[in-house]
Structure 1
Amino acid sequence: MSDSIVTAKIGTLYGLGVGPGDPELITVKAYRIIRDTPVIAYPRKRMGDKSYALAIVETFIDTSRKEMVGLTFPMTRDAETLAREWNKTIATVYEYLKTGRDVAFVTEGDPMLYSTFIHMKRLMESLHPEVRVESVPGISSINASASRLGIPLADGDEIVAIVPATDDREQMRKALIEHDAVIFIKVAKVIDLMIDVLFELDLISKAAVVHKVTGQEERIYTDVASLRGSDLGYLTLMVVRK
């Protein structure tokens, strides 16, 4: 009898969007994969930090029956630090995948819209092309904010933009001038500048700010001018509908 070579099955890496905060906004497909997947990975800024995405899924799964893997994504622009941490992250996840276990990486919102999963997908496919990577869409904070505010983002031939808020004043002005509706994500760090721009364009009454939309800590602000000098927190966006 000739010797046979058995190739170990490689697990699948899932990027699961778990929605903006309300656990009831998780899709049926994402719930099924979380329920059936033995390894749940989740993002955190540093060791010991609470993960917002994990807090969402903890409400409906028994994490004691899962292999829970916290992945640290430091908030830095230092290339050397980022490369080291990302390589460590991919190596950690691959240790589970190479044994045939599927891994579900949970992320708030949608995994293919300004998500940590985007880089994870690229790097995993580059370093381990044998791994199947699948993205499962989720409801983004952008969609959820429109519903909570009762503001349609676009109708008919209107144009809507999603813009990372920065301190580039002219770019922020241009985005507002050229579009019917603009969602500024990560707006907390430049809220004073954005208020100034809104006043300049006579749009202050057309703006609203939402923090951790649909979550237990949700805060909605329609008097945007009153937010000058406020510390709003990371998961904050602004909707401007002209």
Structure 2
Amino acid sequence: MSGNRLIGVGVGPGDPELVTVKGVNALRDAEVVVVPVMDTLEQGRAEATVLHYVSADKVVRVVFALNERTDRARREAAWDAAGRRVAELLRAHSAVAFATIGDPNVYSTFTYLAQTVAELVPGTVVETVPGITAMQDLAARSGAVLTEGTEPLTLVPVTAGAAVLKDALEGPGTVVAYKFGRLAAEVATALRETGRTEGAVWGSALGLPGESIRPAAELAGLDAGTLPYLSTLIVPAPRDGGRGGKL
């Protein structure tokens, strides 16, 4: 039995100042910090953030086929290979951290990694350190209020299809959409058809040099090919402007 620790550390949406103290301590305390990279090997947000807090010689880059959206078998093969690599590291070290953008329990590759590693190294203790999410960062930077009183909050990945987003928009409360960059036209249509365009805002590269925060009304005129895949949309709940009415 191993008993060694695999820690998924949420490092936020990209701004290195949005890593929690607990997250920084977890990165520094681990013997090895794994960062996911695409098979094209360019530096990702997680790696860039981690390097603000730990030295490069402590970081191990592990390839995930993150740029592959259509070939499920290829994606799963990459996840399996990454799991085997991290399992090797875990057998040699008592604590291995895996840095993931956002939060490790919200649409994170850490989920797949932890499942694979736990099977390969029995006795592995899996832990997570929560991270600030893109919707929280966009809300703070744009002034959009995510929820008030008894309003529900619905989070959808637009990779599941624009119809899923439209269904959410037809319901109550605030809707947040992740990963919609390549479906900007469909998102604009869903907003228009549900009457939810006004007050909605989208953002990308939050806290980074290429940061963009704009009204969702502008989506209809944009080329989806120019929008980052990791774009975030906030559609606030319809509100009457009163105070405390929903408490």
Task: Letter of the 1:235 partner, please give it.
Answer: L
Which residue pairs with 1:80 in the alignment?
A: 73
Which residue pairs with 1:70 in the alignment?
A: 61
Pair member with larger Rg: 1
User: Which of the residues 222, 229, 246 maps onto 1:228?
Assistant: 222
Identity of aligned residues (%): 30
Shift of 1:57: 1.7
Per the alignment, in what secondary structure is the counterpart of residue 137 of structure 2? helix
Matches for 1:202-217 after TM superposition, within 5 Å:
202-217=195-210
Over 3 Å counting, the alpha-carbon distance change for 1:169 and 1:39 in structure 2 is closer
Q: Give the conservation status (yes or no) of the 8 Å contact 1:21–1:216.
A: no
Over 3 Å counting, the alpha-carbon distance change for 1:166 and 1:235 in structure 2 is closer
Deviations 1:119-140 (A, max 9, x none): 1112222332311111110001
User: Which of the residues 20, 27, 38 maps onto 1:34?
Assistant: 27
2:46 pairs with 1:57:
no
Task: Letter of the 2:231 partner, please give it.
Answer: T
Per the alignment, in what secondary structure is the counterpart of residue 98 of structure 1? helix
Specify every segment of 5 or more residues in structure 2 that has no aligned partner in the other structure, as ranges: 239-247
Per the alignment, in what secondary structure is the counterpart of residue 90 of structure 1? helix
TM-score, normalising length from structure 2? 0.86
Task: Pick which of 130-139 and 31-40 moved more.
Answer: 31-40
Q: Give the conservation status (yes or no) of the 8 Å contact 1:16–1:111.
A: yes
User: Which of the residues 77, 91, 98 maps onto 1:98?
Assistant: 91
Question: Counterparts of 1:43 and 1:79 in 2: how far apart (Å)?
Answer: 18
Question: Counterparts of 2:89 and 2:161 in 1: how far apart (Å)?
Answer: 43
Q: Give the conservation status (yes or no) of the 8 Å contact 1:109–1:141.
A: yes
2:230 pairs with 1:239:
no
Shift of 1:47: 4.5
Matches for 1:112-151 after TM superposition, within 5 Å:
112-151=105-144
Question: Counterparts of 1:169 and 1:238 in 2: how far apart (Å)?
Answer: 13
TM-score, normalising length from structure 1? 0.88
Over 3 Å counting, the alpha-carbon distance change for 1:167 and 1:24 in structure 2 is closer
Shift of 1:10: 4.7
Per the alignment, in what secondary structure is the counterpart of residue 206 of structure 1? coil
Shift of 1:141: 0.5
Shift of 1:100: 3.2
Task: Letter of the 1:237 partner, please give it.
Answer: T
Matches for 1:41-52 after TM superposition, within 5 Å:
41-52=34-45
User: Which of the residues 16, 32, 46 maps onto 1:23?
Assistant: 16
Q: Give the conservation status (yes or no) of the 8 Å contact 1:167–1:190.
A: no
Shift of 1:32: 0.9
Shift of 1:145: 1.1
Question: Counterparts of 1:142 and 1:223 in 2: how far apart (Å)?
Answer: 15
Task: Tell me how many residue pairs correspond in the alignment.
Answer: 233
